[in-house]
Each structure stands twice: as structure tokens, then as C-alpha cells.
């Protein structure tokens, strides 16, 4: 007798760092994107969509390792053996688009873009390998006024997304200060080894908030092992170089004016550094004049931005409110968006420098942070559920749902069978505020029964006797069929 062949059954699982999303989260993202996009459009930015895939060489040297395309990005080869990568962000595709259509575009070119991006990186709380970004960029406008405008736009976008003033700060720096620092620290050589060390130094400084001074010192020196046991190579700086770097990155003062004054002293004799100082001074004066002061936009010398294409001011949006996970442990979200000036990105394609500045909002991370902040709030309300008790009356049930939708309510008809208890259980799982019931008795009388599920759940906490519950029928009433919509409006209007 032949042996029965075992049928392969794949394990139902999602890849690490990715997630499934359903219902309320998707609606929340859609609504947040609509509010952010409205701010962008009000400032004169037009929408643009680009493909998910770009040729890997078009994405640029900012990738973690361009010799191994899968380090930092998800890549594959096309049928002509060319490497293609899922876009790492929305800015590199913009540079390719501008270069491709340069002659026909207005300058400055102002565009915004919304879409998913993918990063082959280690996931963490609020940090996923696939997430949504919402960007705005101005291509063709030099610093510093376009950069100041972008910072103000960033602050406006955070508040439109639902972050209250005082719960965020836009942190500002200039990459030319970092260039000046590297020059005065002896790391300005042109060799491959020096370039690699500079990259390690900049990435280390970008982690000051998360790792603290001691963690950054390890990355500047011999290297660091994280909690999982993974080891990150250090830059190999000596003690004097490390002290010089740390003294700069911790020089942020209480006010932007004081920070600029302190920086001017630090970079005396460094032409590159002083250009960065002057740019920050003009920007912060402009911002203060328009009431975007330190409580919203503040110079912070620890802001580096990891991508190497930034050439001038850089900015990052950080959340300042406290949040905890489901076990009561504090949760840190780091940046929920960033941006800066990248005058050399289009030059890779055109051969000439094209000034550009932009911001990118990490919508997925921002939504996760807001969810933590709202932990303990009441769950989002589901649709009204019209029960279907008689199969041959389905059209009339659908008509009720259609009337409710026309009045602006979410409503659906239960389509899973005629069992009354199962239908109510379904409505509870859907977080339905109301259930609409019309059996044969109600239909003959030209009526419908409205069951207030939210009120019923609240009242049930104080009723212990099943007989009392059945006899009193709390939170349930009957109205004329023609009065259905008005009764629903009145009932829901009375709720918080």
C-alpha cells in the first residue's frame, strides 16, 4: 500500500518588522494624511506619485552599503540583471523625477508625496520595516528662507496631525557645523577609510538621545555591543578627538540666540562652520519674528540625520509627551519625522547643483505614538448594525442601512445568518453603538426597535439578576419605522 503523501501546510505568520492593519488604524491614517496633505496644499505644494521600485544606483550613496544592495534596502534584479530596490524614502525618487523632467518644471518646484517606504533594518517599538511617509519638498530655492519656511510647515503639520503644541519640538541643526567639526577633529581626509570613519561618527552622534553620552563615546571609540549582543564597530577616535566631538554635541543652550553665540566661538577660524552658524542665526531670527520660538523649533546640536545627502540645515520632529506600553513601561519613539537641505542630490543626475529642501513625516510611527498616548481612552465606535431576522426581508434591512448612511452614519446589515444571539454578539464585537431590530411583530406595526448597546453594556454592570434584565430591557425602545433616522440622531447626539 502506497504511503500517503504529507500535504505541506505553510505556517500562517507575517515577516518580522511588518504588520497587519485593520479598520480603525487605517481610517485614522487616512484622516491624518488628509489633514497633513491639506496643510501642504494650502502652502502651494502639488501632489506627486513615484513607483515603489527605483534602480538601486538611482537611490544614491546614502544607503548603508551600496556594494551590498540588500543591506538597508530590499532589492532584486530585473530580467536585464539590473538591481532594483524598494524605495528607502520619497526624496531620492523626487531627485530622479526632477532630473528626468527638469526643463519642463517650474523652479522652485514644490511637491508633496504620500506613500509606503521600506527599510531592511532592525525593527523596534513604533519602528517598522514598512511604513508610510508624507513628504513636502521645495526644489530650486536656496537657504536660508526656504529652510525656515520648511521648519514652520513642519510645526504646522505636527499640529494638524493631532499633536498638541507643547507635545512636540522641531529640532534644528546644520550639517556644515558637522563638517567644520570633522575638519577641526582631523577627519576631513578624502580617503575611503576617512570617509567610512566620518560616517560612523555622524551615525553615532545621531544616537545621542537614545544611547546617551557613554554609548556614543563607545561608538566614537572601539565600538559598542547592544542588549541583543549585536556589535557595532566604532570610529576608532582617540580620547582627545572624542572629547572634542562630545563638547560640540552637548553645546546646545537654552535659547537659539545663545546657542548661535556659543557656536560662533567654537567655530572661530572654521569657514565652513561659520557659514552654518550664520544660516542658523538668520533662520531662527525669521522663525522668532513669526512666533515660531524655542517651544516649537529649537537648535539642537545632537541632530545629525543619518542620510549623507544633507548639505545644510537639518531638522527632526520629536515627541515630548510621556507614553507607556501595556505593561506600564515607558516607551520612547525617537523621531517621528525629519528633513533638511540636500543641494547635491539632483546633481548626481544633472551634473549641476540644484538647491532643495524638504521634510518627511513618519505617519506610521506618529500614529503608533498617538495610540500609546491615548491608551485607556474609550475604543473607537463601530458601525450601526441592522439585524437581519427574516431572510425574505433583506431588501428592507438594506434600505434602513442606506437611509442611515445617507444621514452620515456608518451602517451595515448583518449577513451571517438569522440567529438573533449571534447577530447581537457580532454587533458587540464590531463595537456597534446601536443595533436596529425589526422582526415580524415590529414590521406588522410599522415600527423598529433600537437597542442602545453602549448604554446596555454600562447598565449591565449594575444588574445582577437575569430576570430583572429580561423584564426591564434597559436601553431598548421602539419607534415608528419612518422615525428611524431621527431617533438614531437623537440617541447618538446624547452620547459623549
Q: Tens of pLDDT along 418-468?
A: 899 999 999 998 889 999 999 999 999 999 999 999 887 666 555 555 454
My answer on whether 414 and 344 are in the same domain is: no
Q: Flag whether 218 is in a domain.
A: yes
* Buried residues in 453-489 as b, exposed as e (16+ CB within 10 A): bbbbeeeeeeeeeeeeeeeeeebeeebebeebeebbe
Instruction: Give one word for 249, left, alpha or beta, with left for phi > 0 and alpha for psi -120 to 50.
Output: alpha
Of 320, 354, 373, the domain-final residue = 373
At residue 97, the pLDDT reads: 96
Rounded to whole angstroms, how far apart are CA atoms 54 and 43? 28
Q: Are 354 and 346 in contact (CB under 8 A)?
A: yes
My answer on whether 337 and 426 are in the same domain is: no
The number of angstroms, rounded, from the C-alpha of 100 to the middle of its chain's C-alpha atoms is: 29
One pLDDT digit (tens) per residue for the chain, 496 residues = 567 788 888 999 999 999 898 888 888 899 999 999 999 999 999 999 999 999 988 887 655 444 555 568 898 998 998 999 999 899 999 999 999 999 999 999 999 999 999 988 888 766 789 988 999 999 999 999 999 999 999 999 999 998 989 999 999 999 899 888 888 887 777 777 777 787 788 788 878 777 888 888 999 888 888 888 788 888 888 888 888 888 888 888 899 999 999 898 888 888 999 999 999 999 999 999 999 999 999 999 888 775 567 899 999 999 988 776 666 677 777 688 999 999 988 998 989 899 999 999 988 888 888 877 765 455 668 899 999 999 899 999 999 999 999 999 999 999 988 899 999 999 998 889 999 999 999 999 999 999 999 887 666 555 555 454 444 455 889 999 999 999 999 999 888 6
- The widest CA-to-CA distance across the chain, in whole angstroms, is 92
My answer on whether 312 and 247 are in the same domain is: yes
My answer on whether 397 and 366 are in the same domain is: no
My answer on whether 451 and 366 are in the same domain is: no
My answer on whether 253 and 303 are in the same domain is: yes
pTM for the structure as a whole: 0.74
Q: Flag whether 278 is in a domain.
A: yes
Computed over every residue of the chain, the mean pLDDT equals 86
Q: Flag whether 17 is in a domain.
A: no
Query: Residue 415 belongs to what domain range?
Result: 384-493
My answer on whether 327 and 211 are in the same domain is: yes
- The Cβ of residue 297 has, within 10 Å, a number of other Cβ atoms equal to 24
Cell of 126: 513604533
Beta strands in 264-342 (DSSP E): 297-299, 313-319, 335-341
My answer on whether 357 and 392 are in the same domain is: no
At residue 65, the pLDDT reads: 47
Q: Flag whether 81 is in a domain.
A: no
My answer on whether 184 and 273 are in the same domain is: yes
Rounded to whole angstroms, how far apart are CA atoms 8 and 25? 34
Helix (H) and strand (E) counts in the chain: 18, 18
Q: Flag whether 2 is in a domain.
A: no
* Pairing relationship of beta strands 53-55 and 75-77 according to DSSP bridges: unpaired
At residue 376, the pLDDT reads: 46
Domains: count for the chain: 2
Domain with residue 335: its CATH number is 3.30.930.10
Rounded to whole angstroms, how far apart are CA atoms 448 and 385? 13
My answer on whether 235 and 159 are in the same domain is: yes
My answer on whether 292 and 408 are in the same domain is: no
Amino acid at each position: 500500500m502506497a504511503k500517503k503523501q504529507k500535504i505541506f501546510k505553510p505556517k500562517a505568520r507575517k515577516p518580522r518588522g511588518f504588520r497587519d492593519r485593520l479598520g480603525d488604524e487605517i481610517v485614522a491614517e487616512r484622516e491624518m494624511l488628509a489633514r497633513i496633505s491639506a496643510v501642504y496644499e494650502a502652502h502651494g505644494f502639488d501632489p506627486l506619485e513615484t513607483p515603489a521600485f527605483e534602480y538601486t544606483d538611482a537611490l544614491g550613496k546614502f544607503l548603508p552599503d551600496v556594494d551590498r544592495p540588500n543591506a538597508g534596502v530590499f532589492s532584486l534584479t530585473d530580467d536585464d540583471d539590473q538591481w532594483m530596490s524598494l524605495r528607502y524614502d520619497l526624496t531620492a525618487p523626487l531627485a530622479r523625477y526632477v532630473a528626468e523632467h527638469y526643463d519642463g518644471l517650474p523652479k522652485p518646484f514644490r511637491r508633496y508625496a504620500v506613500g509606503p517606504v521600506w527599510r531592511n533594518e532592525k525593527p523596534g517599538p513604533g519602528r517598522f520595516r514598512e511604513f508610510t511617509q508624507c513628504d513636502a519638498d521645495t526644489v530650486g530655492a536656496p537657504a536660508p528662507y526656504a529652510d525656515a519656511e520648511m521648519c514652520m510647515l513642519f510645526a504646522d503639520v505636527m499640529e494638524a496631525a493631532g499633536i498638541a503644541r507643547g507635545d512636540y519640538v522641531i529640532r534644528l541643526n546644520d550639517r556644515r557645523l558637522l563638517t567644520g567639526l570633522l575638519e577641526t577633529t582631523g577627519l576631513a581626509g578624502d580617503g575611503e577609510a576617512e570617509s567610512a570613519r566620518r560616517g560612523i561618527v555622524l551615525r553615532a552622534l545621531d544616537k545621542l538621545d537614545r544611547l546617551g553620552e557613554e554609548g556614543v563615546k563607545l561608538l566614537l571609540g572601539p565600538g559598542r555591543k547592544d542588549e541583543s549582543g549585536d556589535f557595532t564597530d566604532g570610529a576608532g577616535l582617540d580620547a582627545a578627538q572624542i572629547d572634542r566631538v562630545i563638547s560640540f554635541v552637548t553645546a546646545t543652550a537654552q535659547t537659539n540666540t545663545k546657542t548661535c553665540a556659543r557656536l560662533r566661538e567654537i567655530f572661530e577660524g572654521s569657514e565652513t562652520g561659520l557659514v552654518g552658524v550664520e544660516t542658523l542665526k538668520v533662520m531662527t531670527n525669521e522663525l522668532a519674528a513669526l512666533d515660531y520660538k524655542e517651544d516649537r523649533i529649537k537648535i539642537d546640536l545632537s541632530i545629525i540625520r543619518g542620510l549623507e545627502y544633507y548639505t545644510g540645515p537639518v531638522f527632526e520632529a520629536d515627541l515630548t509627551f510621556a507614553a507607556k506600553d501595556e505593561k506600564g513601561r515607558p516607551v520612547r519613539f525617537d523621531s517621528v519625522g525629519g528633513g533638511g537641505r540636500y543641494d547635491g542630490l539632483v546633481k548626481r543626475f544633472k551634473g549641476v547643483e540644484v538647491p532643495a529642501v524638504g521634510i518627511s513625516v513618519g505617519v506610521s510611527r506618529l500614529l503608533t505614538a498617538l495610540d500609546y498616548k491615548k491608551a485607556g481612552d474609550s475604543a473607537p465606535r463601530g458601525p450601526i448594525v441592522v439585524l437581519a431576522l427574516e431572510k425574505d426581508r433583506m431588501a428592507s434591512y438594506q434600505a434602513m442601512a442606506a437611509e442611515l448612511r445617507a444621514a452620515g452614519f456608518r451602517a451595515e446589515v448583518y449577513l451571517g445568518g438569522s440567529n438573533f444571539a449571534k447577530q447581537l454578539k457580532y454587533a458587540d464585537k464590531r463595537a456597534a453603538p446601536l443595533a436596529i431590530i425589526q422582526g415580524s411583530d415590529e414590521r406588522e406595526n410599522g415600527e423598529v426597535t433600537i437597542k442602545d448597546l453602549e448604554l446596555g453594556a454600562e447598565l449591565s454592570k449594575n444588574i445582577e439578576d437575569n430576570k430583572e434584565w429580561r423584564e426591564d430591557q434597559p436601553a431598548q425602545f421602539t419607534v415608528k419605522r419612518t422615525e428611524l433616522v431621527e431617533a438614531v440622531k437623537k440617541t447618538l447626539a446624547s452620547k459623549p
